[in-house]
């Protein structure tokens, strides 16, 4: 039998970039290396526990899972070891030599140059192992996957320069050892040697990893009077709480411990915005610990990339990302659910069909909405921060969670014509409370941008009458409105759809004036319709305009111009839309066109008609089918006006 050979391989390009970042940019946050290595060790033990449910022989007569942290002053090494699932040779190359490209680009894209913030991103993007190179100039990993013979161990080693070696070795026990060879001390920087201390390492474990449910062990130490220093013993002691934090009474858990557990759970270095910890009893018994993050992850917009909650059954880890425990629109929530009723061999297929899971899902959803309602009512500044990060995602719930639609509607926030800034801070309840006397509807306008909405001609009559209009500019808004047609008994009405009916907000004199104008300009509207042909469904006089000459509106039942543009942007063909052209009878351009009706120049009337349509299309944010034709017509009209003058 040939002796196993050592193979030298190159890091993936993204890993090389990452190693340079670790070595040169995150120096002052170096203690995070221990947090990340312990978190990885904990995950490895959880994975073994889960696989051993169906293959108990994987325990290899050693079912007490644990993590150990050790150091050697003379060799200048720190070792983090576990007896978890371990790695095969191929897994070592795959997991330690490459990063999933899907997350790498976003990771580098979010780096800010702020060391503290950048250090927080490491675990969130699954690159925590490489933080070892912040403190080490060489890292050795010795591992054997559970179930493989002792001679199938693997040694992986790198100095972080761009290459790594891998070779087959003998390893009696399963699991993984990560050995860090510390960098030499530098005269003008903090000493790496200070990490070679039991007290120092214990303090880091307590700070970052006290909540880990597995025991984290270190060697006991006692004071040596003769040498005047701590002497390390061969006996090991547990240095963390080593119990599932969620299983402890709330009264025994501090806010700092909740926050530390959130960091471990989510790999998010920021603090959670809020959390809830409850034991639910009844037909279904479970414990839930749910967190609302303060910042959205980089992939929050991807509905298929759902992180979900960690699922435990009677303290036994079952799976990450159990997406069946929360609806898609709450995919930003992090946390755990520990069930007393589900079977230990539960699969994702069973989760989809289980009545117990349905009850857990409904219970978790109610708890999250209660947290958000509490923030909105009692901590509006915090809720404003939440909304800016997750508001668009929450809007998805209107179409997905019919049972909680009323609760979700109360949580919505918008910008309006009365907003001083661009922030979405106006609730539907705020709007209803400010409605003018006689106002029966909640008015809104959808647009591509806030600036386009604020300058829309559709708002002119509402400004004149002092009626507030909600301005909806998120891409999800058009979809959301398909499921939100009323609030508190008031209909939601688009100011850019159908005929304008202000109800009691307009008096009899205004109605009579509108009717008179419609009759007076009937010949003109018919002539414009004949000129524009199938480009418009109808041409009519409107009193919704005060400053603009024309605008486009959608007929009742038709899609809006905004939705039509959104569908085109994503390459989808929506229902055919023919807009209605409305003209302002009091505008000088319309009066000029009215005066030209009796003239001999039909081309001039056609140019004016097309110009009114093009202006209206541009004003609503649309694109012209024939920009060059628009320019030619505009030039002809300007020249004709000049000659007339």
pLDDT of res. 428? 96
pLDDT of res. 365? 95
| Domain of residue 260, CATH code | 3.30.230.80
Instruction: List pLDDT tens digits, range 457-516.
Output: 999 989 988 999 999 999 889 889 989 999 999 999 998 887 777 777 777 777 788 788
Mean pLDDT over residues 19-43, rounded? 76
- Who's near 573: CB < 8 A, 6+ residues apart? 567
Domain identity same for 187 and 281: no
3-state secondary structure 291-352: EECCCCCCCCCCCCCCCCEEEEECCEEEEEEEHHHCCHHHCCCEEEEEECCCCCCCCHHHHH
Domain identity same for 27 and 144: yes
Is residue 313 scored above 50 in pLDDT?
yes
Residue-range definition of the domain harbouring residue 197? 7-223
| Domain of residue 62, CATH code | 3.30.565.10
Instruction: List pLDDT tens digits, range 395-440.
Output: 999 999 999 999 999 999 999 999 988 999 999 999 999 999 889 9
Is residue 182 scored above 60 in pLDDT?
yes
Q: Could you tell me if residue 590 is inside a domain? A: yes
Domain identity same for 218 and 289: no
| Maximum average pLDDT range among 17-31, 69-83, 160-174, 524-538 | 69-83
pLDDT of res. 208? 78
Euclidean distance between CA atoms 354 and 357, whole angstroms: 5
- What token pair was written down for 509? 């004199």
Domain identity same for 370 and 283: yes
Mean pLDDT over residues 55-67, rounded? 93
Nearest to 29, CA basis, from 219, 190, 235, 263: 190
Last residue of a domain, one of 380, 415, 439: 380
Q: What is the pTM of this model?
A: 0.72
User: What is the pLDDT confidence band of residue 353, given thresholds at 50, 70 and 90?
Assistant: confident
pLDDT of res. 21? 66
Domain identity same for 273 and 360: yes
pLDDT of res. 23? 64
Is residue 167 scored above 60 in pLDDT?
yes
Domain identity same for 603 and 541: yes
Euclidean distance between CA atoms 182 and 8, whole angstroms: 22
pLDDT of res. 243? 78
Per-residue buried b or exposed e for 215-227, using 16+ beta carbons within 10 Å of the residue's own CB: bbbbbebeeeeee
pLDDT of res. 106? 53
Please list the residues that pair with 366 across neighbouring strands: none
């Amino acid at each position: 039998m040939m002796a196993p050979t050592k193979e030298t391989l190159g890091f993936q390009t993204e890993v090389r970039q990452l190693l340079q970042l670790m070595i040169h940019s995150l120096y002052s946050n170096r203690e995070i290396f221990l947090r990340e290595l312990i978190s990885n060790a904990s995950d490895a033990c959880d994975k073994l526990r889960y696989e051993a449910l169906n293959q108990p022989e994987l325990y290899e007569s050693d079912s007490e899972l644990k993590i150990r942290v050790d150091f050697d002053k003379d060799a200048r090494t720190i070792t983090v070891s576990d007896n978890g699932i371990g790695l095969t040779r191929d897994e070592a190359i795959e997991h330690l030599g490459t990063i999933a490209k899907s997350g790498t680009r976003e990771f580098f894209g979010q780096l800010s140059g702020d060391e503290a913030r950048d250090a927080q991103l490491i675990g969130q993007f699954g690159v925590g192992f490489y933080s070892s190179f912040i403190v080490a100039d060489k890292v050795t990993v010795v591992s054997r996957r559970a179930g493989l013979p002792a001679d199938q161990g693997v040694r992986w080693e790198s100095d972080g320069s761009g290459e790594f070696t891998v070779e087959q070795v003998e390893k009696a026990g399963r699991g993984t050892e990560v050995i860090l060879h510390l960098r030499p001390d530098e005269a003008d920087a903090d000493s790496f040697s200070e990490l070679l201390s039991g007290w120092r390492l214990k303090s880091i474990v307590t700070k970052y990893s006290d909540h880990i449910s597995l025991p984290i062990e270190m060697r006991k130490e006692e004071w040596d009077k003769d040498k005047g220093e701590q002497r390390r013993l061969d006996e090991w002691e547990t240095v963390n709480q080593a119990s599932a934090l969620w299983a402890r009474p709330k009264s025994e858990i501090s806010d700092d411990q909740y926050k530390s557990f959130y960091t471990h759970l989510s790999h998010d270095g920021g603090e959670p915005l809020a959390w809830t910890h409850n034991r639910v009893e009844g037909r279904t018994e479970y414990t839930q610990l749910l967190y609302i993050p303060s910042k959205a992850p980089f992939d929050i917009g991807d509905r298929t990339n759902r992180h979900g909650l960690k699922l435990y059954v009677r303290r036994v880890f079952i799976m990450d990302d159990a997406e069946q425990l929360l609806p898609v629109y709450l995919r930003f929530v992090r946390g755990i659910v520990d069930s007393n009723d589900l079977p230990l061999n539960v699969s994702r297929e069973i989760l989809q069909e289980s009545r117990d899971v349905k009850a857990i899902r409904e219970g978790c959803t109610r708890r999250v909405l209660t947290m958000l309602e509490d923030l909105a009512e009692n901590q509006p500044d915090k809720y404003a921060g939440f909304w800016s990060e997750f508001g668009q995602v929450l809007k998805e719930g209107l179409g997905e969670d019919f049972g909680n639609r009323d609760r979700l509607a109360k949580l919505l926030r918008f910008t309006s014509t009365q907003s001083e800034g661009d922030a979405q801070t106006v609730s539907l309840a705020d709007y209803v409370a400010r409605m003018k006397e006689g106002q029966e509807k909640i008015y809104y306008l959808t647009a591509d941008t806030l600036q386009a909405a604020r300058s829309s001609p559709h708002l002119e009559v509402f400004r004149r009458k002092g009626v507030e209009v909600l301005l909806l500019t998120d891409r999800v808004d058009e979809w959301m409105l398909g499921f939100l047609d009323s609030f508190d008994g008031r209909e939601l009405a688009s100011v850019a759809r159908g005929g304008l009916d202000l109800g009691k907000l307009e008096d009899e004199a205004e109605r009579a004036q509108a009717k008179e104008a419609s009759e007076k300009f009937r010949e003109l509207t018919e002539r414009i319709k004949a000129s524009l042909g199938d480009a418009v469904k109808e041409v009519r006089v409107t009193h919704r305009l005060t400053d603009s000459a024309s605008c486009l509106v959608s007929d009742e039942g038709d899609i809006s111009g905004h939705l039509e543009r959104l569908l085109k942007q994503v390459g989808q063909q929506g229902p055919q839309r023919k807009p209605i052209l409305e003209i302002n009878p009091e505008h000088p351009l319309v009066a000029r066109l009215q005066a030209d009706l009796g003239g001999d120049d039909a081309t001039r009337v056609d140019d004016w008609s097309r110009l009114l349509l093009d202006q209206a299309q541009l004003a609503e944010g649309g694109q012209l089918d024939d920009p060059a034709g628009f320019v030619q017509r505009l030039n002809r009209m300007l020249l004709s006006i000049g000659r007339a003058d």
